[in-house]
A and B are shown apart, each in its own frame.
Chain A
Amino acid sequence: MVEMPSERRSRPPVENARREVADEFAFHLELRTRELIEEGLSPTEARAEARRGFGDMAEVEARCRRLAAKRDGARRRRRWFGDVRRDLVFGVRQLRRTPVLTAAVVATLALGIGGVTALFSVVDATLLRPLPFAGGERIVVIYETWRGFDRGRASPGHFLTYATEAGTLEAVAAYDEASFNLDHGGDPERLLGAEVTPSYFQVLDAPPAAGRYFTEDEGEWPAAQVAVLGWTTWQARFGGDRDVVGSTIRLNQQTYTVVGVTPREFTQVPGQDQLFVPAAFEPSEAENFGSHGLRLLARHRSDATLDAVRAELERLTLGIAERAPQAMADRGVHAAPLSAELVRNTRALVLAMFAAVAFVLVMAVVNVASLLLARSAARRSEVAVRVALGGSRRRIVGQLLTESLLLAVIGGAAGLAVAHAGVGALRGLAVAQGVPRLAAVTLNGPAVLFAVALTVLAGLAFGLAPALRSTRNLQGALREGGRGGTPGRDRVRSGLVVVEVACALTLLVASALLVRSSARLSNVPPGFVADDVMTAHVSLPAAGYESPEAVNAAFGTMLEHLEAAPGVRSAALLSHIPLTGVGFDSGIYPEPIDYDLSTIPSPHQRAVSPGFLDTFGMELKAGRALTESDLRAQAPHVVLVNEELARRLTAFDPAFQPVVGRRIAAWEGSPDVVVWREIVGVVGDTRSQGAAEPPVPELFFPYTRVPSWYWSTVQRTVGLAVRAEGNPLDQVATLRAAVAEVDPGLPLYSVEPMAAVVRRASATRRLTVTLFALFGGVALVLAVVGIYGVVAFVVGERRREFGVRQALGATGGDVVRLVLRQGARLTVLGLVAGTLGAWGAGRLLTSLLEGVAPTDPVAWAAGAGLLTAAALAASAVPAVRALRVPPTQALRE
């Protein structure tokens, strides 16, 4: 028995209100006139008297017409709502009759819509939304360029020149990252913050959460002892207490007055936002164009374009170069919008993931359309009966669309739940990994609107085609006597499957490329052994540690304590533990010093204790390691270089070989001071910046023999590491005790096993691969479901034909081949179409791929092979099932 929603019984016809009122009044007038004539009035008098009863007849008529029109409107609305309600009730009943299909459709849509909505939230938060500051879109970062490095730091002279002379800029700020030991009762704590000019808070313009920002006076040399707390510090350390404003805190063993708190918005700006103190420049610094340590931010005027800003900055920089040609050799200027700079490294990843989930959504919608098409074929007879019984086409299409929209709404609601969970997970990851701006991601208004729009579109997309098909060619459907379905191929469904296969190939190739790239990176030897190593960082304050002797003594005490501790195989001090920071580089001069100085190698400069090779398992490639005696003040100056630096030195001067035994001079803080240091050994390269980054040139000083400027530049910060005999985490107490030996008020921070550091360094890459593998897997499943659906459908329709063929002598193999050919044809067409998508995906991923070309044949073959195998398997199942029906039975049906 075919079930169908009841058509409403006959309704009062909606009359034209004007005619209705006119007719009714005419009728009344006629009766009344006749009545009056019978009472003895003349016909003329009677007619006039009858009209008089209405008073102002035109006005009464108009009133009645208005009321009639409202009545009709309300009636139409009631009828429409009634239709929708009946359609919904019927739709729900239909969906519940096919629970597996409904669940499949809802789950598919939930994944597609949820994924797209979550990723749209990410795109919105990181790429679309303006920065949360007044005129946020006009904030630019100003870099100094130097010999191919286009994002260098600027000098105080540059800053002061731009700040006073650039007419296109409203505000210019300079800042430099700084770290502070906060002593505020309880455990001492390390805060990462910045020294900022007061104008910093004019560029990043958002009202303070409490108190105020720095005044111009506080930024005059010497800087005032005042501090602005960052939002997170305020919340975590001071419980969001507003009374903290005006109180004093101890920073680096000096007293500062808290004047204000930054709002939460500042957490969206790069890095170091835990604490701010004023930066100030001595008047003489205005002419200092030689030390490049400042980061510059500016907001340009709303009537200036970025190009105008760049042109003006270049003009000003040329002026500086004329004044200070020596300091400005090879230097230029570069300005870029802050919003773009923040996501420079994550933009490609975010867009690639968004594209991937968009493909998943397309596949989901296509699959659902395909499933519904199959069902609509099965329901052709129902529809035909309804039309034959007088159901209007409009009502039937409306009914079928209602069902589709109902599915889309349920899928969309489930999708929102998926998106909510996904955004939460992504935010958690973002916080852990410091992806800029991603921490602020929420399932926001635009994303929800986006989801709603998608849901409605999806409902229309996969509801309309089946709905229209169902109502076409009804006589045909009726003649088929309820068997359902047209014989032969189904072009629309086949087309959908081709689209699906194409999307699946795109995602699979993209996943394979990323997996290959990641595998390559995992196989890159890091050059050190992370197992069993525990690491931590410590910084000595300036107060009490002005002299190199005091620093040396403090670090010496720590190392002694570590080496003597039980369970410690070796201990080391290393100014830059691999993967925990970039470090800084500075030029060196190979002996003799009469080279063209513009091409000197510029290695990263590290301070180390002799134990660093053993502790980190680094290899000595030539010469000897450092010894305790190299640390002594009277010992000759020696250094180690890594292989990369040795290569560069040799490339720089082919005669500089072997490097062991040769001498170099580092920058000692003044061109007049030259200290020759002998290279005594070559250390194996390490991937200290991550597996994807090539080894950088490195120079290792014994930590007691560094150039005089060294410790203040690194803010007396070093990494401490121990190689433990057992669990490295057991050595945390040892590290704490070693630091407490020097000063119990010194905080130990970034305390982590080296293995965790290594894991974190590749976390984004592994996450990317995992997500893409997930997308690829979902795509594969969807494609298999799609192909299976079409082939099974066609097999069902051709059962009788297959029966005839077998009765006429065709073997089972013939039939299976026939069916497989059907699946294979669709797959091949899809693969061909997918080539284009996969090629585009490869291009989009280029910046994320390491050592793998976007056209990598292995990845392509893997993607296409997997898909083909899955497609054949999906076709084989219905083929074999077709055989299981005895021909006699198929023929009887």
Chain B
Amino acid sequence: MKSDHLHGTLDVLILTALGRGPMHGFGVGKWLEEKGGAELRVDEGSLYPALYRLERKGLLEAEWGTSENNRRAKYYRLTREGERRVATGTAGWNAFSAAVGRVLAAGQEG
């Protein structure tokens, strides 16, 4: 099992969220909550460091823009490298969650 997989889950979620278009940090958190429900509620203490980490890795880039309510906000968007990673990350996650599912199912049977 790849050790960074669970840590990478949040990354995959963020990248997927931004795959729909540029968003500020608040927007990313909101979108994840809407789509995933309370189970996927990401607290801000994890979300922002993850965003900065992804920016540092060059998967995201950021630009200051104007928000819906006319405030100055930092918008994130995927870099080309980030877009590639969304594709592979999604596939990887699907394989991983399927594997977890098989293990859990086996546990219930036994």
A31: which of B26, B52, B55 is its contact (CB, 8 Å)? B26
**Minimal beta-carbon separation of A65 from chain B (angstroms):** 9
A60 with B56: CB separation less than 8 A = no
- Against B, the Cβ 8 Å flags (1 = close, 0 = not) of A262-302 are 00000000000000000000000000000000000000000
- Residue pair A55, B43 in contact (C-beta under 8 Å): yes
Chain B CB within 10 Å, residue with most, of A28, A32, A53, A74? A28
- Which residues of B from 59 to 100 have beta carbons under 8 Å from A? 61-63, 67, 69, 71-74
Q: Does A667 contact B (CB under 8 A)?
A: no
B37 within 8 A of A: no
The chain A residue with its CB closest to the CB of B51 is A64
Contact with B along A68-110 (1 / 0, CB 8 A): 1011001000000000000000000000000000000000000
Inter-chain contact B74/A24, CB cutoff 8 Å: yes
Residues of chain A within 8 A (CB-CB) of B53 are 67
Which residue of chain A has the shortest Cβ distance to B57 in the bound complex?
Answer: A71
Q: Is A23 close to B, CB under 8 A? A: yes
Contact B25 A67 (CB under 8 A): no
What count of chain B residues pass the 8 Å CB interface test? 21
Does the CB pair A54–B43 fall under 8 Å? yes
Q: Does A839 contact B (CB under 8 A)?
A: no
Determine if B72 and A12 form an interchain contact, defined as CB atoms under 8 angstroms apart: no
- Answer whether residue B34 sits at the interface, using C-beta atoms and an 8 A cutoff: no
For B49, the chain A residues whose CB sits under 8 A away are 60, 63-64, 67
**Across-interface contacts of A54 in B (CB, < 8 A):** 43-45, 48
Q: How far is the CA of A27 from the CA of B71 in the complex (A)?
A: 8
When the two chains form their complex, are residues A24 and B25 in contact, meaning their CB atoms are under 8 A apart?
A: yes
> In the complex, which residues of chain B have a beta carbon less than 8 angstroms from the beta carbon of A25?
48
A372–B35 CA distance with the chains assembled, in angstroms = 65
A32–B67 Cα distance when bound, in Å, is: 14
Q: A30 contacts B71, CB within 8 Å?
A: yes
Report the separation of the CA atoms of residues A68 and B74 in the bound assembly, to the nearest whole angstrom. 13
Are A28 and B25 in contact (CB-based, < 8 A)? Answer: yes
> Is A20 located at the chain interface by the 8 A CB criterion?
yes
Query: Which of A27, A56, A71, A74 contacts B45 (CB under 8 A)?
Result: A56
The secondary-structure label for the interface of chain A is helix
Q: Tell me whether A24 and B48 are in contact in the complex, defined as CB-CB below 8 angstroms, given that A30-B71, A71-B55, A71-B56 are known contacts.
A: yes
Interface centre among A27, A59, A68 (most CB of B within 10 A): A27
Task: Give the residues in chain A near B73, CB-CB below 8 Å.
Answer: 24, 27
Q: What A residues does B24 contact at CB under 8 A?
A: 24, 27-28
Complex Cα gap A81–B48 (Å) = 29
Q: Give chain A residues whose Cβ lies under 8 Å from the Cβ of B63.
A: 12
Q: Are B56 and A70 in touch, CB under 8 angstroms?
A: yes
CA distance A71 to B48 in the complex (A): 14
Smallest CB separation, A66 vs chain B (Å): 8
Minimum CB distance partner of B48 in chain A: A64
Whole-angstrom CA separation of A20 from B56 in the bound complex: 14
Are B52's CB and A74's CB within 8 A?
A: no
Q: Which residues of A contact B69 (CB under 8 A)?
A: 31
Contact, CB under 8 Å: B48 / A74: no
- Within 8 Å CB of B62, what residues of A? 12
By a CB distance below 8 angstroms, the chain A residues around B56 are: 67-68, 70-71, 74
Cα A32 to Cα B73 in complex, Å, equals: 14
Flag if A27 contacts B74 (CB, 8 Å): yes
Complex-state Cα separation, A30 to B71, whole angstroms: 10
A55 to B42 Cα, complex, angstroms: 12
Residues B55 and A27 in contact, CB atoms below 8 Å apart: no
Note all chain A residues with C-beta closer than 8 A to B45: 53-57, 59-60
Q: Kindly state the separation between the CA atoms of A371 and B72 in the bound complex, as whole angstroms.
A: 55
- Determine how close the nearest CB of chain A comes to the CB of B21; give it in whole angstroms: 18
A residues within 8 A CB of B67? 27
The residue that B26 contacts in the complex, of A12, A27, A57, with Cβ under 8 A, is A27
Q: Which residue of A lies closest to B24 (CB)?
A: A27
Report chain B residues within 8 Å CB of A60: 44-45, 48-49
Would A12 and B52 count as touching, CB distance under 8 A? Answer: no
User: CB-CB < 8 A to A59: which residues of B?
Assistant: 45
Q: Bound complex: CA of A423 vs CA of B49, how far in Å?
A: 59
Residue interface bits A131-148, CB-to-B below 8 A is 1, else 0 = 000000000000000000
> In the bound complex, what is the Cα–Cα distance between A67 and B60 (angstroms)?
13
CB proximity of B27 to chain A, nearest CB, Å: 9
B24, chain A: closest CB distance, angstroms: 7
Nearest-CB residue, chain B, relative to A17: B52
Let me know if B74 and A20 touch, CB within 8 A.
yes
Q: Tell me the bound Cα distance from A25 to B55 in angstroms.
A: 16
Please give the distance in Å from A17's CB to the nearest CB on chain B.
9
Q: Are B43 and A68 in contact (CB under 8 A)?
A: no
> B22 → chain A, closest Cβ, in Å?
13
Question: Chain B: which residue is nearest A65 at the CB level?
Answer: B52
- Tell whether, in the assembled complex, residue B55 and residue A28 are in contact, meaning their CB atoms are under 8 Å apart: no
CB contacts under 8 Å to B, within A161-204, are none
Q: CB distance A53 to B43 under 8 Å?
A: yes
Contacts of B71 in A (CB 8 A): 27, 30
Cβ of B61 to closest chain A Cβ, rounded Å: 7
**Complex alpha-carbon distance, A54 and B25, angstroms:** 13
Question: In the complex, what distance in Å separates the CA atom of A57 from the CA atom of B45?
Answer: 7
Chain A 36-61 interface mask (CB, 8 Å, partner B; 1/0) = 00000000000000000111110110
Chain A residues 11 to 27 lying within 8 A of chain B, measured CB to CB, are: 12, 20-21, 23-25, 27
Kindly provide the distance from the CB of B80 to the nearest chain A CB, expressed in whole angstroms. Answer: 15
A23 to B71, CA, bound (A): 11
Shortest C-beta distance, A230 to chain B (Å), equals 63
A754 to B16 CA separation, bound complex (whole angstroms)? 93
Write the chain B residue with the least CB distance to A55. Answer: B45
With both beta carbons as reference points, the residue of chain A lying nearest to B55 in the complex is identified as A71
Known contacts A24-B25, A67-B56, A53 near B44 by CB under 8 Å: yes
Measured in the bound complex, the distance between the Cα atoms of B73 and A20 in whole Å is 10
Q: With A and B bound together, what is the CA distance between A599 and B89 in angstroms?
A: 104
With both beta carbons as reference points, the residue of chain B lying nearest to A66 in the complex is identified as: B52
Q: How far is the CA of A25 from the CA of B44 in the complex (A)?
A: 9
The answer for the CA separation of A56 and B48 in the assembled complex, in Å, is 13
CA distance A54 to B63 in the complex (A): 22
**How near does chain B come to A699, taking the closest CB pair, in angstroms?**
92
Q: Beyond A24-B25, A24-B74, A27-B67, is A68–B44 a contact (Cβ under 8 Å)? A: no
Nearest A residue (CB) for B71: A27
Taking CB atoms, residues of chain B closer than 8 Å to A30 are: 71
Chain A residues, Cβ within 8 Å of B43: 53-55
Q: Chain A residue with minimal CB distance to B56?
A: A71
Complex formed: what's the CA distance from A820 to B45 in Å?
Answer: 81
Tell me the complex Cα distance, A63–B50, Å: 10
Contacts known (A23-B72, A55-B43); A68 close to B52, Cβ less than 8 A: yes
Complex formed: what's the CA distance from A53 to B26 in Å? 12
B contact residues around A67 at 8 Å (CB): 49, 52-53, 55-56
Instruction: State the Cβ distance, A22 to closest chain B Cβ, in Å.
Output: 11
Contact B44–A27 (Cβ < 8 Å): no
CB-based nearest B residue for A73: B56
A28 touches B26 (CB 8 A): yes
B53 CB to closest chain A CB, in angstroms? 6
CB contacts (< 8 Å) of A27 on chain B: these are 24, 26, 67, 71-74
Interface pair A32/B52, CB less than 8 Å apart: no
Q: Which residue of B44, B61, B74 contacts A23 across the interface (Cβ within 8 Å)?
A: B74
Separation of A67 and B59 alpha carbons in the complex (Å): 14
Closest chain B residue to A64 by CB distance?
B52
- Shortest CB-to-CB span from A9 to chain B, Å, is 14
* Chain B residues with CB below 8 A from A55, complex form: 43-45
A25 to B48, CA, bound (A): 9
- Which chain B residues lie closer than 8 Å to A64 at the CB level? 48-49, 52
Name 17 interchain pairs, CB-CB below 8 A, sorted by A: A20-B74, A24-B48, A25-B48, A27-B67, A27-B71, A27-B73, A28-B24, A53-B43, A54-B45, A55-B44, A57-B45, A60-B48, A63-B49, A67-B55, A67-B56, A70-B56, A71-B56
Using CB atoms and an 8 Å cutoff, list the residues of chain A in contact with chain B: 12, 20-21, 23-25, 27-28, 30-32, 53-57, 59-60, 63-64, 67-68, 70-71, 74
Q: Other CB < 8 Å A-B pairs besides A59-B45, A60-B48, A68-B56, 5 of them?
A: A24-B48, A28-B44, A32-B26, A67-B53, A67-B55
Smallest CB-CB A-B distances: 3 pairs: A55-B45, A67-B52, A71-B56
